[in-house]
Amino acid sequence: MPASSPQVLYTPAQRARRDATAWTLVQGVLAPVQFLIFGVSLYLVVRSLQTGEHTDWALGSVVLKTIVLYTIMVTGAIWEKVVFGQYLFAPAFFWEDVVSMGVMALHTAYVWVWWQGQWSANDQLLLALAAYMSYAVNAAQYIRKLRMARLQRQPATQPNTLPDSGAQASV
């Protein structure tokens, strides 16, 4: 595909499936909830690293963030199956899914380390920051795709010239 032509995220059939499935709403609710939890947890983690206070809250908040992450990943895979016919790595979201695997790996490593309790709290929080940096990159990828989908929808709402009469018509 030439660099100047925009990437089409959805065929008309995929767009119809996306708009018809309840999993789109589930993703639309879970994504901002996860981002809110991320923001609060990030604050707690950074504050704990700075002051040494409320470390248990910070450590626990990362576990909560990870539970929500797993929830959004499972429901997102179901959404991808409904819309694209495969659970992960559909061409339209291939790189987002690749980065998501890294995000999941880091969050899972955090939970394992937290569960085992053999790392210091400081080291656990530093691992959480690494997981959160990867999550921020992944969130930016998905926000970009959401913007792309909205931009692709806009031309359909602008007036078009009809070829046979030259008249304006809304599509």
Residue 36, Ramachandran bin (φ over 0: left; ψ between -120 and 50: alpha; else beta): alpha
Inter-residue contact 66 to 111 (CB < 8 Å): yes
- Give me the pLDDT at residue 8, please: 81
CB-CB neighbours of 28 under 10 Å: 10
Domain boundaries, the chain: 12-141
Q: Which one, of 129, 111, 104, 113, lies nearest residue 44 by Cα?
A: 129
Per-residue pLDDT averaged across 56-71, rounded? 98
- Give me the pLDDT at residue 6, please: 54
